[in-house]
Structure 1
Amino acid sequence: MKKTLIIMAVLTAIAFQSNAQYDKNVAIGIRIGEPLGLNIRKYFQYGDKAFDVNFGTYGFLYGTTRKYRKGEYQKSGLMFQGLYSWHYAIGKNQALKAYYGFGGQINYRDYASEGNIIGTRQDGEKHVSLGPAGNAGVEYDLPGNDVGIFLDGGVYTELIPDLLFLHPQINAGIRVNLVRR
C-alpha cells in the first residue's frame, strides 16, 4: 500500500510539472459528497484542460455498509483519485464552465466476507481496490475573486478485485485558485 501511494504521489508531481509552460494556475478546495475530501487542481494550456487529484473518504456519504462480493463493505475507507478533464465555457463571460474527465482511483477499506459474521471481527479484512473513474460537472467562478464553486457526478468502476463493481459519486465543493493565470 505504501509503495502504491508513493508511486501515485510521484506521478502526480510529474503531471503537475509536465505542462508548466502553459499556465501556473493551481487551485485547492474541498469536495463534499462522495468522495469527501481534499481536491487539488492543476490547469493546463488556457484553462481548457486540468488534472485533479482527490484525497479523501470512500463510502462515507452512502454505502458505509453495502453488499460487496460475497459479503459487505463496513465503514468508510480511504481513497486516492486522479482525473484528467476537459473544460468548456458556457456563455460569453466564461464564469460558468462545464467539464468532463476520466482517470483512476485506489481505495483502502474494510471488507467482511460471508464467512465472517458481523460483530466477531469488527474491523473486517483490510482491502485495496482499484479501477477507472469518470465524472462530469459544472463550475462557476465567482466574479471579482479567485473562488469557484462546483457540482459534479460520476462513477467509479472497480476492476480489481471485483470486476465491474460500480460506485456512484456525487460532489459539491469550493476551490480557491492559489496562483492566477
Structure 2
Amino acid sequence: MKKLLFAFTTILILSISSETFAQYDYNWAAGFRVGEPLGFNLRKYFQNGDKAFDINVGTYGFIYNRKRSYNGGEYRTSGLMIQGIYLWQHEVFRRDWAHVYYGGGLQINNRNHYFFSRNVTPPQEIRSKKIALGPTGTAGFELKLPNQPLAFFLDAGLYLEALPSPFFINPQVSGGLRLNIIK
C-alpha cells in the first residue's frame, strides 16, 4: 500500500508541475470498475478534459471488508454505494494518452449492520439497515488507447464516514475500463 501511495504521489507531483492540460475530444465516458467500489462509472468532462465529474454506482464492501467491525457490531455483507467526485485531470509527461486525476466528493452507502442486543429476552443478534454518508477522495492514473475511445484506469482513495459513525475509515482501490461515448 505504501508503494502504491508513493507511485500516485510521484505521478501527481510530476503532472501538476506541467503547464499543459488534458485535451479530450469527448464529453462523456461510461464504464465499469472492479475493486472498492465495484460497479458502474459515468464521467462528464469539462473544459477540454482538465476537469471532470465522476458518478459511481455499485457495491460497497464486496471485494474486501465484507466482514468488519462497525459501530458496536459488524458488517458481514456488501451494500449499495453512490458516489460523486469532482476531479482535476492533468497530462503526464506532456502525453495526451496518459493522465493523472485527483479530487473529492461525497459518498452514500446502504448496508446491513449486525449487532448483539441484550435488551431483548433472550439476548439475540439483530440486523438493521444503516445508511451512511461521508466525504471521499481519490487519485488515479488513466491510460487512453491511441485512436480509440477506450481508457484504462487505476485509482485509490479514502472514504471517511461522517454519519452515523464519525471517523469510520474505508480505503478504496479500484481499476477499470471507460468507453468515451459522446463527442
TM class by smaller structure? 0.7 to 0.9
- 1:138 paired with 2:162, answer no
Partner of 2:51: 49
Q: Which amino acid aligns with 1:103?
A: G
Q: Which amino acid aligns with 2:35?
A: G
Aligned-pair distance for 1:120?
A: 5.0
Equivalent residues in 2 for 1:90-169 (5 A)? 90-115=92-117, 124-169=127-172
Whole-angstrom CA distance in 2 between matches of 1:95 and 1:103: 25
Aligned-pair distance for 1:115?
A: 2.0
Aligned-pair distance for 1:114?
A: 3.3
Aligned-pair distance for 1:94?
A: 1.4
- 1:32 paired with 2:34, answer yes
Whole-angstrom CA distance in 2 between matches of 1:137 and 1:59: 20
Kept in 1: contact 2:117–2:125 (CA 8 A): no
> For 1:145, what is the secondary structure of its paired residue?
coil
Whole-angstrom CA distance in 2 between matches of 1:24 and 1:164: 37
Whole-angstrom CA distance in 2 between matches of 1:114 and 1:120: 4
Question: RMSD across aligned C-alpha pairs, in angstroms?
Answer: 1.9
Q: Kindly provide the CA deviation profile for residues 146-165 of structure 1, in whole angstroms up to 9, marking residues without a partner as x.
A: 00000000000000000010
TM (normalized to structure 2)? 0.81
Q: Which has the larger radius of gyration?
A: 2
Any unmatched runs of 5+ in structure 1?
1-22
Of all paired residues, the percent bearing the same amino acid is 47
Q: Which amino acid aligns with 1:48?
A: D
Whole-angstrom CA distance in 1 between matches of 2:132 and 2:95: 42
2:85 to 83, 86, 111: 83
Aligned-pair distance for 1:24?
A: 6.0
Aligned-pair distance for 1:48?
A: 0.2
Partner of 2:6: none
Whole-angstrom CA distance in 1 between matches of 2:167 and 2:128: 21
Aligned-pair distance for 1:102?
A: 0.2
Q: Which amino acid aligns with 2:43?
A: R
Partner of 1:173: 176
Any unmatched runs of 5+ in structure 2?
1-24
Whole-angstrom CA distance in 1 between matches of 2:125 and 2:132: 24
Q: Which amino acid aligns with 2:179?
A: V
Q: Kindly provide the CA deviation profile for residues 80-126 of structure 1, in whole angstroms up to 9, marking residues without a partner as x.
A: 00000000100233110011010000000000123289x955xx211
